[in-house]
Amino acid sequence: MNNVPAHRFRLYVAGSSENSSLALANLTAICLRYLPDQYQIEVVDVLDNPHRALADGIRMTPTLIKLAPIPYRRIVGTLSHTKRVLLALDLVEVPAD
């Protein structure tokens, strides 16, 4: 049986800065509400792993990358606008006009 979560995210943060903490809290809340038991969040601290951040093209923090399911998505910021985050991550359908 495959235990790989359907939704995988990588969040790049800068230590325990206010914006980084807020982004992690917002992402966790979104996942708990909209993707219960279907997600994995990997947190990469760019202060501890600057070479990885550069190799992955991270220029700002916090930055969220949706790794799965494809297509990949990248969002910069605190993820405080839940509707925008859900749309950007393809977690809800765009309403028809």
Q: What angle do CA 81, 48, 61 make, to 5 degrees?
A: 20
- The tens digit of pLDDT for each residue in 34-84 reads 999 899 999 999 999 999 999 999 999 999 999 999 899 999 999 999 999
Task: Say if strands 7-13 and 39-45 run parallel, antiparallel, or are unpaired.
Answer: parallel
Residue extents of the structural domains in the chain: 7-88
Length of the chain: 97
For residue 71, count other CB atoms closer than 10 A to its CB.
6
State the number of CA atoms in the 13 A half-sphere of 53 facing the CB.
19
CATH number of 7-88: 3.40.30.10
Q: Where are the alpha helices (DSSP H) in the chain?
A: 18-34, 50-55, 82-88
3 confidence band (pLDDT: 50, 70, 90): confident
